[in-house]
Amino acid sequence: MKLRYFEYRKARIEIIPMIDVMLFLLVFFVIVTLQMIPDAGVSLQLPTASQTQELPHPKVTVNVLADGTMQVKGQTLSTDQLTAMLAADGNPGKTELTIAADKATAFQHFMSVIDAARKAGVTDIGIAAQPVPGS
């Protein structure tokens, strides 16, 4: 009687494909987590306020630097470009906007961001501030 080779092979679990899948999932979750960190590249000296509250993560954060430069997600924009970007959102009445202006920013630059947002139809505008120490 002739025995066949496949009758004597034992089933075994291949671990290398499982490791590949786990590494893929790890990389995927790291990339997704990094994209959730909002605008970590801009360093601003925010003004302080005694009445601050934690707000949910906004859809758009506009950083206004001391010289009046506006940045959104690392891109420098003019007021017209900011208005166009906010208007192209598709649902401007529901867009949540937070303005993070540097402490040394002139009030006119701050108001130009608010004007651009209002032209685009944004009604939900927040202002970023540091809480007063000790309050």
Indicate yes or no: pTM above 0.75. no
Strand, helix or coil for residue 62: strand
CB atoms within 10 A of CB 132: 11
Reported residue count of the chain is 135
For the chain, which residues make up each domain, given as ranges?
A: 5-35, 48-131
Closest CA to 64 of 10, 108, 101: 101
Question: Which range has the worst mean pLDDT, 6-15, 22-31, 96-105?
Answer: 6-15
At 14, list the tokens. 């291949």
CB–CB of 123/89 below 8 Å?
A: no
Q: How far apart are CA 70 and CA 76, in angstroms?
A: 6
Domain 48-131, CATH number (from 3.40.50.300, 3.30.499.10, 1.10.10.10, 3.30.420.270): 3.30.420.270
Q: How far apart are CA 114 and CA 105, in angstroms?
A: 14
Q: Using pLDDT thresholds of 50, 70 and 90, give the confidence band for residue 19.
A: very high
Tens digit of each residue's pLDDT (9 = 90 or more) over 45-58? 677 677 777 767 76
CB–CB of 76/39 below 8 Å?
A: no
91 against 88, higher pLDDT? 88
